Amino acid sequence: MTRLKIVTSALAVVWYCSLAFAAPQHSFTTRGHDFLLDGKPFQIVSGEMHYARVPRQYWRDRLKKARAMGLNAITTYVFWNLHEPRPGVYDFSGQLDVAEFIREAQQEGLYVLLRPGPYVCSEWDLGGLPAWLLANPQMVLRSRDPKFLEPARRWLKRLGEELAALQITRGGPILAVQVENEYGSFDSDHEYMAAIRDAIKDAGLGEALLYTADGAEELPNGTLPDLPAVVNFGPGEAKEAFAALAKFRPNQPLMSGEYWAGWFDHWGREHHATDAAQQEKELEWMLAQGYSVSLYMFHGGTTFGFMNGANLDKTYHPDTTSYDYDAALDESGRPTAKYFAFREIIARHRKGEALPAVPKTPAAISFPAVELKESAPLEHLLDLCVVLQSDVPRPMEQYGQSYGYILYRTKIAAATRGELRLKDLRDYAMVLVNGGSVGTLDRRLGQEAINVDLAANATVDILVENTGRVNFGKGLREERAGISGVTLNGDELRGWTVYPLPMTDLKQLRFASGAASGPAFYRGTFEVAQPGDTFLDTRQLGKGVAWVNGHMLGRFWKIGPQQTLYVPGAWLRRGKNEVVVFDLEGVAGKEVQGLGRPILDQVRAEQ
């Protein structure tokens, strides 16, 4: 290193240190019914937005729009599964630089409410818990089981290394940190909640105000006596929910930790368009009472990749890729009519304080239909896999895989006709005999068996897609993806070759002109004169996932209601761009195109 570089580096260190020591120290506490910021009453008007659901290049734009709507804070979850993809391996880079997201919020004049879980729900796979936890069959998630608590503590400790310096007490924007998430809807183990509270404190995140969040009826189950509680509810429930909170905690501030100003969608079900007028009326009422509120969601964005969750009541319902949520900012960050109505309401309660101008949003672009002329059969990817041998099929987590697809292959020696039954299907399977599909099985529809007619020495493939682990309720404890056994006419089949297919690296696929048979990858190119946001029309496709320029957009499924995938303009380039799809129902001649608007509300009858 030259002397000039040494001097320059030293000056930089001095400058950064001086900033750190000069950072103003603040406090955020409670007194009676008030939150106090530096000793003065402070009404939180926040909105939820998740850094992982918004391309990093657009964080600043969305935060500016939050400030322009009148918000004084941003609420965000932290997704454990993204940051610790394998035990002890952490990632806080690029899109996952949550500390930078929080710094940018502060630069835009916003405080932050941090929700680190370790469980976060959020229509996210397994509620944000890493799937590798499920590799241990005895693991009991969200409990005092040491096999769960030890990695949870380790995770929170590592998160504290990233975010502790950003607390309000150290000059950062983090006002408050939530302990767990709606635990009262899951169980009532207060010792578990105390263990998570202590883990957050041990991680150095206890200088901010700690709090819990639950539904009105679940407050007794999920709270801790030493922490303030907030209440979560939907439109039409504000007065009753706040009354319940006031009765439960008569001498603390009243806040809605989640006011559900929208809702999410499931595959095969109708798109949700919520009652904006009702939400406007309730927001006006809450602010007039002096209550604090966090809008869930202010901006939903997109659950890119394989990260969508699912619900489980009597049946299984996976969530769509779009997390538009009928929010104030739509999926692509465009202000809606709801945005401007909320802005007007909030402005009336800012006592004459002028709001910043709403940033302009460039128009979305379109591009003409692109024929997916090149293909690569799934077999090409199998050739690149780490091949495993297994006496009986096991869930993908036991093979070290968390997301995507997994293929189980066996040979049938003697000709056989009868019922092929899958055990614990999670979640969608295509059954192939000698490379040709003989049908599919769908967990949503309760399907577990299919009739087959097998010749001697037939090769049977079972290609399973994890379409999203359950993220709410105790069912998440059993969400091991793949299958755990196969029988043919009641006899267990043994001797399997297993191909994990996480779909994380497609660079070595060998594409060729023409169509491929069965599940396959298809590729096409399109030209863009000026990059901008667009929406990939998937209505000609069947079921699968799509990438643009190597960025995984998410899942498509012809049953809808989502029929387009959001393509951020930041992921496009001038000139030639590449689109790749993996379609279980590969057919020659399919096309995609870029639309100037999304299609999120077209449900098709299932065949």
Cβ atoms of residues 371 and 486 within 8 Å: no
Which of 403, 267, 260, 404 lies closest to 322, judged by CA? 267
Please tell me which residue in 258, 282, 374, 479 is annotated as part of the active site.
Answer: 258
- pLDDT tens digit sequence for 371-407: 999 999 999 999 999 999 999 999 999 999 999 999 9
Please pick, among 182, 218, 282, 479, the residue that the annotation labels catalytic: 182
Residue 513 pLDDT > 70: yes
**Residue 452 — φ and ψ, nearest 5°?**
-130, 155
Q: Which residues contact 317 (CB under 8 A, 6 or more apart)?
A: 266, 267, 268, 269, 310, 311, 444
Q: Dig out the tokens for 430 from the structure.
A: 């295509």
pLDDT digits (tens, 9 = 90+) for 288-346: 999 999 999 999 999 999 999 999 999 999 999 999 999 999 999 999 999 999 999 99
How do 209-215 and 174-178 pair as beta strands?
parallel
The mean pLDDT of 103-127, rounded to a whole number, is 98
Tokens 């059993």 sit at which residue?
478
pTM more than 0.85:
yes
Report how far residue 127's alpha carbon sits from residue 213's, in angstroms, rounded to the nearest whole number: 15
**Measured between alpha carbons, how far is 221 from 185 in angstroms, rounded to an integer?**
8
pLDDT given for residue 4 in this prediction? 38
Q: What is the pLDDT of residue 21?
A: 43
DSSP string, 58-122: GHHHHHHHHHHTT-SEEEEE--HHHH-SBTTB---SGGG-HHHHHHHHHHTT-EEEEE--S---T
Please say whether the beta carbons of 246 and 262 come within 8 A.
no
Token pair, residue 270, equals 């109708």
The whole-number pLDDT of residue 606 equals 76
Which residues lie across from 529 on neighbouring strands? none
- Answer yes or no: 270 catalytic: no
Is position 492 annotated as part of the catalytic site? no
Query: pLDDT per residue over 530-584, tens digit each?
Result: 999 999 999 999 999 999 999 999 999 999 999 999 999 999 999 999 999 999 9
Q: How confident is the model at residue 514 (pLDDT cuts 50, 70, 90)?
A: confident
Question: Per residue in 207-217, pLDDT tens?
Answer: 999 999 999 99
Q: How far is CA 189 from the centre of its chain?
A: 26
Q: What pLDDT, on a 0 to 100 scale, did the predictor assign at position 607?
A: 58
With 80 as the cut, is the pLDDT of residue 465 above it? yes
**Token pair of 377 as six digits:** 């059969």
Q: Where are the beta strands (DSSP E) in 194-342?
A: 209-215, 229-233, 255-260, 292-299, 310-312, 316-318
Give me the pLDDT at residue 10, please: 41
Does the pLDDT value for residue 195 go beyond 70? yes
Please provide the DSSP assignment of 254-279 as one string. -EEEEEE-S---BTTSPPP---HHHH
Interval 215-248: pLDDT, tens: 999 999 999 999 999 999 999 999 999 999 999 9
Residue in 245, 258, 252 with CA at minimum distance from that of residue 218: 245
Specify the range with the lowest mean pLDDT, choosing from 64-68, 148-152, 479-483, 602-606. 602-606
pLDDT confidence of 3, banded at 50, 70, 90? very low
Arithmetic mean of pLDDT over the chain: 95
| pLDDT tens-digit series, residues 404-457 | 999 999 999 999 999 999 999 999 999 999 999 999 999 999 999 999 999 999
Instruction: Report the pLDDT value the prediction gives residue 16, as an integer from 0 to 100.
Output: 38
